[in-house]
Each structure stands twice: as structure tokens, then as C-alpha cells.
Amino acid sequence: MLSIKNLHASIEGTPILRGINLEVKPGEVHAIMGPNGSGKSTLASVLAGREEYEVTEGEVSFLGKDLLELAPEDRAREGVFLAFQYPVEIPGVSSTNFLRTAVNQVREYRGLDALDAVKFLTIMKEKMKLVEIDQKLLSRSLNEGFSGGEKKRNEIFQMAMLEPKLAILDETDSGLDIDALRVVSNGVNKLKSPDNATIVVTHYQRLLDYIVPDYVHVLYKGRIVKSGTKELALELEEKGYDWIKEEVDAAV
Amino acid sequence: MTTITKHKITDLFLQNKPLTQNFENLRKMGLETLEIKGLPALKEEEYKFTQISKRLDQQITNFKAAQPASLNKELIQKAIFEGFEGDIIVFNNGEFVPTLSTVSHQNYSFSLLSDSKSEILGSIAKVENDPFVALNNLSFKDGAFISVPKGKKVEKPIFLLHFNQANQGQVINQRVLIDVAESAEVTFLENTISLDEEVYFSNSVVEVRVAQNSHAHYYRLQNENRKAIVVNNFVTDIHRDATFTSVATQLQGGMLRNNLTMNLLDSGCEGNMYGLYLLNGKTHVDNHTNVDHTKPHADSNELYKGILADSSRGVFNGKIFVRQDAQKTNAFQQNNNILLSEEAIINTKPQLEIWADDVKCSHGCTTGQLDEEALFYLQARGIGKEQARGLLLFAFAGEVMEHISYEPFQLYCTNLIQERLGSKF
């Protein structure tokens, strides 16, 4: 589904990603962990098409298409979804109108008819239950005045509405209390299917108790330096990142 | 190169002033003020960023008053927007046109200023406030007087519709006096239609008295031709427990200068000023607002927002004056701007003078570009870049539009804005 080969990216001339290789197949959950500043969020941003990052080398194909060639909106329409680490507050744009515009533009791209207001609302109500989000929240301006937990829940709600093939969760768990974490993870788990894949970028092993990964990758200095199964995450939780850093730095 | 003195332009106006018998007192005050002060010179602080005199010198060649243009019913029909119901008062180059107006007289009275003998004419907009008030005093031929009697609620809005076109003279003078009596309620709409693309200079004065416990709304659209030079002095006296709300939507013109003054004369009164300027090309719009808190327990709210594209220019100067007596004042002011091009310019300046010690006053201004992070967020959800941009700009502008409480006019202005945001800006 997603194939990343030797991906290099930099911001304002400073290299951040220095040769990422990653294969994600349908139905899989990949966790990307790593110390602060290792390039985790950069990877998520580059995949979603954030313009500040310049891809200097390598390729990314998504369902056979060159992802890097596509504008951010077309990546979303193809089925890539990024749950933002810091969801943006947009005053004056109601959550409902925004989502309806988004859903219908995605549908149009996929050759489907636009949803009318009634159908849209029916689907919305159904998906709201997934993340236990209050309708009152959705009649307000997008993310404006939302608590941290509400913002993250709203991200997963949007994901449910857009039905992506590849979901990238960028530190969706950071700052959440246990209850909110459980709600958000439940939402993600319910959306999992054999046809779609999830990349979970996280700093804390705790999330992986709720969203169980098939693979765990450790990112350090812009490269994946270690890959394993969920046991690797437990080991990291116990021993921290220093042993990996030492291993890598010794090898250089 | 010609050197411009304030006297040159002032002289040109004085040479071309109409010879009239009426409004003697007003004419006299106007003349005296102009002779002493003249129109604003190049370096004059109040007109530093909007050099009207220079613009007049460069572009106006005939300082005579414009003669009435040719108007017909179709033009009026075209200017009426969907859903509008109410009276229309039509002005042709500043002169009232009875044949094309519909004045019901049901809930208010309408007359020419020359017939009204109103004593308050010239007492609200004072010559010392602005030299263009003096110029208007001297130059206007006649004007409109609208008064709403005590306790009346005028259900439908009164639409002041101006048609402007240079015609054997390029100067248009407009004068309107509105008197809203105690506990009355009324809504005014105003629009100006340029009949062609040629330059004219329109100098208008609107005076409004909002008497005790009354409520008045004034919603104005400025969407004139790209050469129009406009100065507008709008002054309101707001009395005890009365509320006045102004919403100005500015879309196009050559150089527009709006002086909006609210005098909060007693306790319990409220003055609201909202404005949106959505500019492109070389349009220059200057909003100078002035709120004068004189007594305790009065509120003022002000929000002006601007979106500037191409090489357009905006000026915002918001003065709030809180006098020593005006304890427990609430005065809020906000000016936010988005610049869409490298060439667009905004000069913004809040000016607070507070002499009372127990007040709540705040002001803030921001100038920036379109929020790239928000744009990316919308794109990342599948919304195309152009549409995302339009959505964000419209959301920004919408905060002002929601203060137009007469829905058909809100919709009309909103549609014009969406049209502008949808097209190449």
C-alpha cells in the first residue's frame, strides 16, 4: 500500500530525514517511536504534503501512485489521512460545514455523488458515537476553544467521516488523560479493517497498550534504526532510548 | 512638478461654490473655517496616509457641482436586491429625486432640508471636526431630512440610494440629517452606484441624532467605480439609553475616506462600529473612527477587518476618548487585517485617551497573511487549495457581516463578498 524508499527531507536547508525505508501493507498497524527531534513528525508531515519540507531524495508510492507528486488535497482524496499533533483552530468555519465540504470534495474525486444534508447528518450521527463526541461541539467553529482531548477526538471523528485507506496518527496520544486515550484508541480500533492501514507516531509506549501494533520502528537521526514487534516497544519503555542511541552512534 | 498648497485646492472649491440664499449660518461657518484652515495639506496628521487634497489636485479638473445625471426606473430596479421590502429614497448626484423615490410617510417623516428648518442641522457634524464638513456646509445645494417620531418602530428599512456621475462638473455634495426621537426604532441602508467609470469627488455629511432610549442601525455599502474620490463624514449624537450600530462594507473605489464619529452623550447608551474592507486593484480606503465617552456607564464596541490584495491600501485609525466623568465605561476596539500581496499596505493605529480611572477598555490590531497552517489543515482533509483559501477568508470576513441584522442586505453583501473571494482576488 505504502512504500517509502530512501526518503530524505529537509526544512530550510537542514536535513531531517536521512534515508527512510518503510513498507506498509493493508491491514497492518505500524508504530513509529523515537526520541524527541528524531524526525517522527517530519515523516508524518512529508507524507501528508506539508509544503515547508523539501524532499531532497527518495520516493514514496501509495497504491501505485507517486505520492510526492500530489497536492495535499489530492493525497487526502486518494485516502491518506493525517491526524494532526496540533489540530488548528479555525474561527468562523463551523465543524459541520467544513466536514461536509471535505467529504463531498473527496467523494467527487472518487466519482461518487455528493451527500445531501440529510444523508450527511445521518452518517455524521453514526460516526459521532465512535468517538463519543458531542453534537454541540460540532456546531461550533472548528476546534475553537476545544480542550486538548476534544481536539484529538475531533481528529479521529474526521478520520471516521473521511474513511481513509492510510491513517497517520501524529502523537495523537500526547497530553491525553487515560479516559480520553481510551476513547480515541477505541475509535481508531473500530475503524481498522483488513483493507486499511495505520501508522501511529508516538512518544509513549502507553498508547500501544490500546492500539496494538504489528510492527514497531525506532526513528533516530532521521533513519529507522531498529524495527521489531510490539515487544520492542516494551523494551524501549523499560530501558529508554539511550541503548539504541549508543548502538547507532557506535556504528558510525 | 506643481507644488500643492492647501490653499490652491481650497481656492478652487471656493471659486466654484454655489450661490444660494438658504442655510446662511451654515454657509458662513463653512466659509470661515475653510478660509482659516483650508483643506488638509500634505503633512497634516489626520490625513497623513490619505492625501485627498493631492488626489483632488491630480484628478479633478472641474470643481463645479455635478448636474443631475439621467436616471430611470430600470436603474433603480437593478439596484434593489433580493428580499428587499421598504422605502427607497433616491439621490441623483446628491439631489433628492421625488419621482423615483417611494416615501410612505407612514412611520416617519421626510422632507428637504430647506423645508425642514431643523435646528440641529450642523450641530452634530461640526465644522471644527473636519474641513470637509466645512466644505460640505458651503457647497451642498439641499439635502434630506428624515425624522422618526417618538415611540415609533419603523418596521421596514429605509434605503438611501445614491447615483453618482460626473456631469458638467465633478463634485457631488450630499447632506442627510436623521432625527430618531425617544424610544423609536429604525434601520437605514445605504448604497452608492457609480453610473460610469469616470472620476468624481463626492463629499457627504450624514448627521444622526439618536434620542433617549431609541435604537438605530445604519448599514452602508461602498462599491463605487475605481476612480471615485469620496469623503464621508458620519456623525451621531447618542443620548441616554440609546443604541446606534453602524456596519460599513467597503469593496471598491478610488480613494475613500470615512470619518465616523459617535458621541456617547449620556449613561446607558451604546455605540457599535463594525467595518469590513475587502480591497483589490489600487483601491484606497481609510476609516477614521472616533468614539467619545462623556458620561458613566456607556459602552462602545468596534471591530474593523480588512483583506487587502494587489496594490490596495487600507488605513484604520480608531480613536477612543474616555472623559473624566465617564466612569464604568466599557470600550472595546479591534482591527484585524490580512494582506494577500506584497504590494498591499495597511496603516493601522489605535488611539486611546482615557481620563477616567474605573473603566474597561481594550484595543488590539493584527496584520498578517492568510494562516498557512489553517490552509494546510483544510487541504489535508481533501479541500482544494483555492476553495480552502476562500473558506478561510470568508470566515474572517463573516464576523463583521453577522452584525448586519437585516437579513436580505446581509445576504446581498455576503454574496458580493463571496463573488469577490471566489474570483481571482
For B345-400, the pLDDT digits (tens) are 999 999 999 999 999 999 999 999 999 999 999 999 999 999 999 999 999 999 99
What is residue A160's predicted lDDT score, i.e. its pLDDT? 92
CB A221 within 8 A of CB A38: yes
pLDDT one-digit tens code per residue, A125-159: 999 988 888 888 888 899 999 998 899 999 999 99
Residue B42 pLDDT more than 80?
no
The distance between the two most distant Cα atoms of chain B, rounded to a whole number of Å, is: 69
B256 lies in the same domain as B156: yes
What percent of chain B is predicted at pLDDT more than 90?
86
What is residue B208's predicted lDDT score, i.e. its pLDDT? 98
Whether B382 and A50 lie within 8 Å, measured CB to CB: no
Q: Where are the alpha helices (DSSP H) in B41-147?
A: 52-59, 73-79, 113-116, 131-139
B273 lies in the same domain as B370: yes
Domain ranges in chain A are: 2-251
What is residue B223's predicted lDDT score, i.e. its pLDDT? 96
Please check whether residue B83 lies inside any domain of the structure: yes
Q: A248: pLDDT confidence band, cut at 50, 70 and 90? A: confident
pLDDT one-digit tens code per residue, B241-250: 999 999 999 9
**Adjacent-strand bridge partners of A10:** A15, A54
The DSSP output letter for A207 is G
Q: Where are the alpha helices (DSSP H) in B244-384?
A: 372-379
Residue B90 pLDDT more than 90?
yes
B289 lies in the same domain as B389: no
B388–chain A nearest CA distance, Å = 10
CB A123 within 8 A of CB A115: yes
d(CA A81, CA A111): 19
d(CA A31, CA A33): 6
B367 lies in the same domain as B285: yes
B251 lies in the same domain as B382: no
Beta strands B255-264 and B284-293: pairing type? Answer: parallel
B387–A contact, CB cutoff 8 A: yes
Q: A93: which chain B residues are within 8 Å (Cβ-Cβ)?
A: 391-392, 395
Please check whether residue B76 lies inside any domain of the structure: yes
pLDDT one-digit tens code per residue, B175-227: 999 999 999 999 999 999 999 999 999 999 999 999 999 999 999 999 999 99
One-letter amino acid at B318 equals G
CB B181 within 8 A of CB B148: yes
What is residue B425's predicted lDDT score, i.e. its pLDDT? 55
Please check whether residue B342 lies inside any domain of the structure: yes
What is residue B2's predicted lDDT score, i.e. its pLDDT? 37
Residue B160 pLDDT more than 90?
yes
Residue pointed to by grid coordinates 446606534: B244
A162–chain B nearest CA distance, Å = 8
What is residue B424's predicted lDDT score, i.e. its pLDDT? 52
Q: B417: which chain A residues are within 8 Å (Cβ-Cβ)?
A: none
Q: A90: which chain B residues are within 8 Å (Cβ-Cβ)?
A: 374, 377-378, 392, 395
A181–chain B nearest CA distance, Å = 22
B291 lies in the same domain as B315: yes
d(CA B148, CA B144): 13
Minimum-distance CB partner of A102 among B383, B385, B392:
B383
B253 lies in the same domain as B364: yes
d(CA B389, CA B378): 9
Whether A73 and B373 lie within 8 Å, measured CB to CB: no
**Adjacent-strand bridge partners of B210:** B180, B238
Please check whether residue B50 lies inside any domain of the structure: no
CB B126 within 8 A of CB B134: no
* Mean pLDDT computed over every residue of chain A: 92
Structurally, chain B folds into a number of domains equal to: 2
Whether B379 and A102 lie within 8 Å, measured CB to CB: no
Q: Among all residues of chain B, which has the CA nearest to that of A168? A: B380
Please check whether residue B176 lies inside any domain of the structure: yes
B277 lies in the same domain as B406: no
Whether B371 and A82 lie within 8 Å, measured CB to CB: no
Region for A207 from its dihedrals, namely left if φ exceeds 0, alpha if ψ lies in -120 to 50, beta otherwise: alpha
Could you give the ipTM of this predicted complex? 0.95
Residue B254 pLDDT more than 90?
yes
CB B146 within 8 A of CB B109: yes
Q: B5: pLDDT confidence band, cut at 50, 70 and 90? A: very low
A47–chain B nearest CA distance, Å = 10
d(CA A164, CA A81): 6
Residue B92, all three cell numbers: 441623483
Please check whether residue B139 lies inside any domain of the structure: yes
DSSP class per residue in B119-188: TTTTTSS-TTT-HHHHHHHHH----EEEEE-TT-B--SPEEEEEEE---SS-EEEEEEEEEE-TT-EEEE
Minimum-distance CB partner of A71 among B371, B385, B398:
B385
Whether B384 and A88 lie within 8 Å, measured CB to CB: no
Q: A25: pLDDT confidence band, cut at 50, 70 and 90? A: very high
Q: Among all residues of chain B, which has the CA nearest to that of A91? A: B395
CATH class label, A2-251: alpha beta
* Mean pLDDT computed over every residue of chain B: 93
CB A72 within 8 A of CB A106: no
- Residue B88: which domain range? 66-376
B372 lies in the same domain as B424: no
CB A156 within 8 A of CB A190: no
Residue B7 pLDDT more than 80?
no
DSSP class per residue in A54-78: EEEEEEEEETTEEGGGS-HHHHHHH
A91–chain B nearest CA distance, Å = 7
B220 lies in the same domain as B132: yes
Please check whether residue B4 lies inside any domain of the structure: no
Please list, residue by residue across A92-129, b when 16 or more beta carbons sit within 10 angstroms of its beta carbon and e when fewer do: bbbbbebbbbbbbbbbeeeeeeebeeeebeebbeebbe
Whether A93 and B395 lie within 8 Å, measured CB to CB: yes
B398–A contact, CB cutoff 8 A: yes
d(CA B344, CA B312): 5
The residue length of chain B stands at 425
Please check whether residue B170 lies inside any domain of the structure: yes
What is residue A100's predicted lDDT score, i.e. its pLDDT? 93
Q: Which DSSP helix (H) or strand (E) runs through A216?
A: strand A215-220
B387 lies in the same domain as B356: no
Distances (CA, A) of B365 to A145, A180, B322, B337, B371: 21, 37, 20, 8, 16
Q: B396: which chain A residues are within 8 Å (Cβ-Cβ)?
A: 92
d(CA B336, CA B292): 22
B104 lies in the same domain as B237: yes
